[in-house]
């Protein structure tokens, strides 16, 4: 499976969630503290916009991160300022559905640019150089996690697709130590939610993970 296909599935999954929502449902809560569905969707629009910029920003130097080490390279930051900016920006739209229209314009453009790009080409983003395929994997992982964030109060909408989920799971596996194994009772979505810090580890989880439990959450 090519990297752009997984990204297309990830972004298409988010579109399937939000396309039919009205202004009321777009103001339902998400797993991201203080963010409504419309707020989180605007944040993900920013990821798609960053994809477009990165894919048009070729780099000449060698990659300094890949799809796994990229996550370790991100600085620890207080997300409250970004959260405040996102909420205020989303509130500036006349209606929440305006953010949906922005997403449905931007996400397909990012997918088309990804499909047209050489997966082995190098691009620059956030101060790093990555192969295109690795960039797309990071975007897919973030989209899948945020898809799970979006649907916490929307029980009847589709879950992330299998191909995109496999990419996100592979990222989490890469962030674990080489000899670590996730608890057998976790399905992929529980794994992703706990690895991303959306769900706390239980006492049983900590017992099964042993010292690896101290690595969680795997994503900031």
pLDDT at residue 179, as a whole number: 74
Residue 115 reports pLDDT greater than 70:
yes
* CB 26, CB 102: distance < 8 Å: no
Residue 141 reports pLDDT greater than 70:
yes
Sorting pLDDT into bands at 50, 70 and 90, what band is 175?
very high
Backbone torsions φ then ψ of 197, nearest 5 degrees: 80, 15
The residue-averaged pLDDT of 153-174 equals 96
Q: Which stretches of the chain are DSSP H helices?
A: 3-18, 37-55, 69-73, 80-91, 97-116, 132-150, 162-175, 188-195, 203-209
Question: Can you tell me the distance from the alpha carbon of 94 to that of 99, in angstroms, rounded to the nearest whole number?
Answer: 9
How does DSSP assign 110-122, residue by residue? HHHHHHHS-TT-E
Question: Can you tell me the distance from the alpha carbon of 53 to that of 156, in angstroms, rounded to the nearest whole number?
Answer: 34
Flag whether the pTM goes above 0.75.
yes
Which has the closest alpha carbon to 148: 21, 8, 4, 10? 10
pLDDT at residue 74, as a whole number: 79
Backbone torsions φ then ψ of 129, nearest 5 degrees: -115, 130
The residue-averaged pLDDT of 80-90 equals 90
Please, what is the average pLDDT of the chain? 94
How far, in whole angstroms, is CA 103 from its chain's centroid?
14
- All structural domains of the chain, each given as residue ranges with its CATH number in brackets, are 3-72+81-175 (1.20.120.450)
- C-alpha distances (whole Å) from 201 to each of 22, 186, 192 are 34, 11, 12
Residue 78 reports pLDDT greater than 70:
no
Residue 51 reports pLDDT greater than 90:
yes
The residue-averaged pLDDT of 145-153 equals 97
Burial label, 167 (beta-carbon count in 10 A; 0-12, 13-18, 19+): buried
Residue 45 reports pLDDT greater than 80:
yes
Residue 198 reports pLDDT greater than 80:
yes
């Amino acid at each position: 499976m090519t990297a752009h296909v997984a990204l297309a599935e990830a972004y298409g999954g988010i579109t399937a969630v939000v396309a039919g929502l009205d202004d009321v449902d777009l103001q339902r809560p998400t797993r991201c503290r203080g963010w409504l569905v419309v707020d989180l969707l605007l944040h993900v629009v920013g990821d798609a916009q960053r994809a477009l910029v990165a894919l048009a920003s070729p780099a000449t130097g060698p990659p300094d991160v890949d799809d796994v080490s990229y996550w370790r390279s991100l600085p620890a930051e207080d997300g409250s300022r970004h959260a405040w900016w996102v909420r205020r920006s989303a509130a500036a739209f006349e209606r929440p559905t305006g953010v949906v229209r922005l997403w449905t314009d931007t996400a397909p453009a990012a997918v088309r640019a990804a499909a047209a790009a050489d997966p082995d080409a190098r691009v620059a983003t956030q101060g790093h150089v990555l192969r295109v395929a690795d960039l797309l994997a990071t975007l897919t992982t973030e989209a899948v996690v945020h898809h799970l964030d979006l649907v916490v109060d929307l029980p009847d909408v589709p879950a992330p697709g299998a191909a995109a989920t496999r990419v996100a799971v592979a990222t989490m596996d890469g962030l674990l130590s080489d000899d670590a194994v996730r608890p057998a009772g976790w399905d992929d979505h529980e794994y992703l939610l706990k690895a991303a810090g959306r769900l706390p580890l239980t006492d049983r989880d900590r017992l099964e993970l042993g010292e690896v439990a101290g690595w969680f959450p795997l994503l900031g």
